[in-house]
Amino acid sequence: MGECLRRTCPCLQSLWDRLFKRRDDVGSKGETGCAEDGLNSKLENNTHPVTRYGPASVHEPVDMAVYTALWAFEARADEELSFEVGDMFKIVSKNGDWWTAQKLDSCGRTLATGIVPYNYLERGETVATQPWFFGKMNRFESLSHLLSAENGDGAFLVRLSENDSVGHVLSVRVRNGAKHFKVYQTGSVFYVDQAHGFPSLLELVEYYHNHRLGAVQRLGKPCIRRQPQPQDLSHTTVDDWELPKEDFTLEEKLGSGQFADVYRGKWKRRINVAIKILKNNESLNQQDFQMEVQLLKRMRHRNLISLFAICTSSTPYYIITELMEKGNLLDVLRSAEGEALDLMSMIDMAAQVADGMVYLEDHNSIHRDLAARNVLVGEGYVCKVADFGLARIIKEAVYISTEKKIPYKWTAPEAISRGRYSNKSDVWSFGVLLYEIVTNGGVPYPGFTTNEAVKQVMHHGYRMPAPPNCPQCIYDIMLSCWSDKPENRPDFKQLKSDLENMNRYTELE
């Protein structure tokens, strides 16, 4: 009965422990050493609703499934639980990215209760018995896993596409990119090639371990999962954004701009972060700064940089964000590593940027400085849109600006001439960013000074020609972004779809 009551009324745990601890200690034991109670089945068959109190009634309902830890985690605050790979949990309440959970022993008894990052856990009954099955995942995420340094050529995973009509996809690393094979299912038969059908995904994978799969010689080792990162420093900082500077230590300088210097740093000497130290704090417009902070607080997307905290008790002000190890996209593209990227990897990176911009677009936010220098790159070539220093929340269709410090070669004509910014002016900038990507960080409007480029675009309708070796379909997207009339430009949702659908799945040769 004890275990059943613990599941249905977690808030009575401490009372139960006081009343029945001694009975648990002397209760009858099964072969595993777990106390058993014949009333369990009677209680579990009771169909009367059970009222829950405490945290579970405030947040989402208690999830009675058993969850398993996929990675180890070290507690960062007193209320958090440390745990190892394979530890089991039951969820008491779900509140955003941090859940309250009971850590269980092998008999299902509660060892401790505390707060854990949700993305370190997986429901026990859906934890794949095969290390290559990654569950629901889009191609960007699969690519970022496959391109991790631990994986070599032939590393593979099977995933469920986020597009429900697609089903299973077999993704395989090939040099610095990946090939994605759609797995078809007809009745109970799985196949990539109709000539070879299998009664299960397991047998399909085993077959291609020893046989060629299109351009892939054979499957190698299962992809190593990349450990996720919590979207906050700790559960204690989810709502407490103002933190003392003493919590942070500065390390190497990563870059310097007109408005800020950026450093690698650590929070409490443990968690890697990026620290942006603002310049000219005396002349800083407090209202603009607060608008930026409020915007960043609310933005949570896999392709947007997350704000962790701010330090404004004294100047200079700090903005604390997640750290992206590879730096900005422009530097990556111009490096030897960038030169080795194939076209499909570049298209994937552009599609990730578009995905992040879809989120901004959906939240009525404009960026106003979208360029490769303001996109950051992490392990596995995960791309995140950064530098919201010029971003604004807008209530109307456009935001009228008098700001003169604008990046002209990336800026739409209506923004240059009339200061009219909108999501469609961001689309214009995205077309220029796409040019940067396919030219490995080439300077836009080569051969033109900034003034000459502005004059040619504004007064003569000039558009950059297609870069060398640029597929026509990519250049067509650039031209659509550079339509004279903003209303004729695509939105980011369309751009994301167009880029995703290019060579989406590899056909067998």
Q: Which residues contact 88 (CB under 8 A, 6 or more apart)?
A: 66, 67, 68, 69, 103, 104, 106, 108, 124
Tokens 């396919």 — which residue? 438
172's tokens: 């395989």
Return the closest-CA partner of residue 310 out of 246, 248, 243.
243
First to last CA, the chain: 61
- The helix-helix angle for 423-438 and 343-362 (nearest 10°) equals 170
Beta pairing partners, 101: 91, 114
Task: Please list the residues that pair with 126 across neighbouring strands.
Answer: none
Catalytic entry in 247, 348, 369, 387: 369
User: By the 8 A CB rule, do 316 and 281 touch?
Assistant: yes
What distance in Å separates the CA atoms of residue 190 and residue 188, rounded to the nearest whole number? 7
- Residue 172 host element (H or E): strand 168-174
**For residue 501, what are its two tokens?**
């659908």
**Known catalytic membership, residue 369:** yes
378 closest CA partner among 147, 151, 152, 157? 147
Integer Cα distance of 309 and 241 in angstroms: 5
Query: Can you tell me whether residue 475 is helix, strand or coil?
Result: helix
Estimate the crossing angle of helix 423-438 against helix 492-500, to 10 degrees. 30
276 appears as a binding residue in the annotation? yes
* Contact call for residues 502 and 475 (beta carbons, < 8 A): no
Residue 418, CA distances (Å) to 24, 128, 288, 398 in order: 76, 56, 21, 11
Q: Quick check: 151 and 173 in contact, CB under 8 A?
A: yes
Q: Tell me the C-alpha distance between 224 and 316, whole Å.
A: 41
Contacts of 101 by beta carbon, 8 Å cutoff, 6+ apart: 67, 81, 89, 90, 91, 92, 113, 114, 115, 116, 121
User: In three state form, how does the secondary structure of 344-399 look?
Assistant: HHHHHHHHHHHHHHHHHHHCCEECCCCCHHHEEECHHHCEEECCCCCCEECCCCCE
- Which residues touch 125 (CB under 8 Å, ≥6 apart)? 65, 66
Omega prior to 316 cis, within 30 of 0: yes
Beta strands in 257-322 (DSSP E): 260-267, 271-278, 307-311, 318-321
Q: Cite the annotated binding site by residue number.
A: 276
Q: Cite the annotated binding site for ATP by residue number.
A: 276
Give catalytic residues, as residue numbers. Answer: 369
